[in-house]
């Protein structure tokens, strides 16, 4: 084989391989960030969640398992948050108000989970709940007292929390929907409250 044709064949081969690698690595050129990848993967295969123990703003202990058979919207917060979580609260409130009232509590519930159990005690959660009119039944604000369980929960959801310079946290904030089978089935942007509520309503 002449060097030229060899060069052409090799170039074609590595171009194909490279394109294929990119295709695989980005889920068919759709997911260029880890956050999109997380969402695409959940849509394709809903993910089971660990049965962690939570404590809500009224001090009631419960498990994620208790929600099986219902649709559950989940977000992650910490109550000292001055920026994103404030709007997260508003967005969750908006979603609750968009869902038909007869389904609330019966077929659809909301849960805000704090990933900062050191600072967020029941009183803090209660304050946060009051600010957004979370009743503790349809919409609970909860913490995971056990650190290892919290870790496994964040891991299963794909939430990465990193402390910033101001003593606060940065985290990938999103709206999560857990299906009736207890699996995480949908993740959407926090500014997509209306489409999120529409998707939930369609499933009711």
Partner 1 sequence: MLYLLLGTPWARHQLEASMTLHMLVQMPLLVIVGITACRLLPDCWRQRLLDGLGGAIPCVVVAMFVSSYWMLPRALDAALTEPLAEISKFITLPLLVGFLLALSWRRLTLIGRGFVWTNFFSMLAVLGWLYIVAPVRICNSYLVNDQQHAGWYMVILATLLFLWWLGTLLVGDGGGPRKPSIDTDRTPE
What residues contact 79, with CB distance under 8 A and at least 6 apart? 85, 114, 116, 119, 120, 124, 125, 127, 128
The least distance separating partner 1 from the CB of residue 150, rounded to whole angstroms, comes to 17
**Contacts with partner 1 in 21-60 (CB under 8 A)?**
21-22, 25-26, 31-37
Closer Cβ to partner 1, 121 or 189, answer by number: 189
Of the listed pieces 18-26, 55-63, 117-125, 135-143, which binds partner 1 according to CB under 8 A?
18-26
Considering only 101, 170, 181, 198, the residue that binds partner 1 (CB under 8 A) is: 170
How far from 159 is each of 2, 89, 99, 101, 136, CA to CA, in Å? 54, 18, 26, 30, 24
Residue 167 as a binder of partner 1 (CB under 8 A): the answer is no
Token pair 């948050």 in the structure block, residue: 81
The least distance separating partner 1 from the CB of residue 3, rounded to whole angstroms, comes to 6
Closer Cβ to partner 1, 17 or 123, answer by number: 17
- Please state, in angstroms and rounded to a whole number, the distance separating the CA atoms of residues 40 and 20: 18
Which run of H or E residues covers position 53?
Answer: strand 53-56
Query: CA Rg, the chain, in Å?
Result: 21
Q: Give the interface with partner 1 as residue ranges (CB under 8 A).
A: 3, 6-7, 9-11, 13-15, 17-18, 21-22, 25-26, 31-37, 158, 160, 162, 164-165, 170, 172
């Amino acid at each position: 084989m002449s060097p030229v044709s060899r060069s052409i064949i090799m170039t074609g081969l590595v171009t194909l391989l490279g394109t294929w690698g990119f295709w695989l690595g980005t889920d068919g050129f759709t997911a260029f960030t880890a956050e999109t990848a997380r969402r695409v993967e959940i849509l394709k295969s809903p993910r089971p969640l660990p049965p962690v123990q939570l404590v809500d703003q009224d001090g009631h202990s419960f498990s994620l398992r208790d929600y099986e058979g219902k649709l559950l919207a989940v977000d992650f917060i910490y109550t000292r948050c001055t920026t994103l979580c404030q709007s997260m609260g508003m967005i969750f409130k908006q979603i609750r108000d968009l869902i038909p009232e007869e389904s609330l509590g019966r077929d659809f519930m909301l849960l805000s989970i704090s990933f900062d159990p050191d600072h967020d005690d029941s009183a803090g959660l209660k304050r946060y709940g009051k600010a957004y009119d979370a009743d503790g039944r349809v919409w609970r604000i909860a913490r995971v007292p056990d650190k290892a369980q919290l870790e496994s929960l964040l891991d299963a959801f794909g939430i990465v929390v990193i402390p910033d310079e101001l003593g606060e946290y940065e985290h990938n904030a999103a709206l999560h929907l857990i299906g009736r089978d207890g699996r995480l089935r949908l993740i959407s942007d926090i500014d997509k409250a209306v489409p999120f509520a529409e998707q939930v309503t369609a499933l009711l």
